[in-house]
Amino acid sequence: MNPYQKLLARKRKWTPVQVSAGTCKQGAEEAILRALALRHMELPVGDFITDALSTDVPKASRDLLRSNVTDEENHDVALGYIASAYGVDEKAEAEALKLKAAWEAHPDHTITKAMVAERAIFFVLLPFFRFNGDAGMRTVSADISRDEQIHVACNSLVCSELGLRPSNSLDKLRKATINWVMQPLKNASPDKYLTKNFWLNSSDRLMYEGKAPELSATRSARMPAFFEHSNVNLPQYA
């Protein structure tokens, strides 16, 4: 099996369900609404991959890339369910749509934009939901994270094969996006997961080093046990 086939074999199918709203960590509420507003980026990332399939991406990657597009549609549904339950902030929604338009208009190769968005934006927002969100957010973010690990590995391989690197202007857009999400958080707090710089530094490290050791606790971040909440909050697995 080539690396793309190995990644495809790791996938686990899951079906989002409508969750009920719970209580998020005090102090994170406004940033959570902004992070939720960035769900509008899920489908554009899928479109980036679809556009990339019309270019000279490696033949071996195509089945995996097509599968990743389907994942993004699934993520959009799952995050839409959370937004429906938890509620949205209309101002944040409008600002997120402007950011989405900026990502769509950026001239970098679409596979590069997908890699940066998933590696240095989504990989920050998902742990943010797991440390600060309610039960439904924690469960959904864990499921999406499993998919995104495969997406980032795939997109990184494709970028490497094609010799693609993010431009400085794309990096500035990445910084502007994550800064906007985390802007409501404090500069200092006894809880590091409520501090702005913790998440901004995580995004920087994921961008430049491809890893953020400070997020390793995500593996053991508090996940809801099945008896803690209604079955409606538990996704359906194949």
- In which residue ranges of the chain is pLDDT below 70? 217-238
CB 17 within 8 A of CB 231: no
Q: What pLDDT sits at residue 213?
A: 83
* Domain presence at residue 14: no
* Domain presence at residue 137: yes
Comparing CA positions, the residue from 68, 82, 169, 159 lying closest to residue 125 is 82
pLDDT tens readout for residues 75-97: 999 999 999 999 999 999 999 99
Q: How many domains does one find in the chain?
A: 1
* Domain presence at residue 90: yes
CB 88 within 8 A of CB 37: yes
Domain range for residue 82?
A: 26-216
* Domain presence at residue 227: no
Q: What pLDDT sits at residue 231?
A: 45
Overall pTM > 0.85: yes
Q: What pLDDT sits at residue 215?
A: 83
* Domain presence at residue 47: yes
* Domain presence at residue 21: no
pLDDT tens readout for residues 133-178: 999 999 999 899 999 999 999 999 999 999 999 999 999 999 999 9
Residues in CB range of 230: below 8 A, 6 or more apart: 20
* Domain presence at residue 232: no
Distances in whole angstroms, Cα of residue 223 to Cα of each of 13, 131, 193: 20, 9, 16
How does DSSP classify residue 121?
I
Helix (H, G, I), strand (E, B) or coil at 195: strand
User: ∠ CA(207), CA(124), CA(183), 5° rounding?
Assistant: 100
CATH number at residue 105: 1.10.620.20
User: Cα-flanking dihedrals φ and ψ of residue 195, to 5°?
Assistant: -105, 140
* Domain presence at residue 17: no
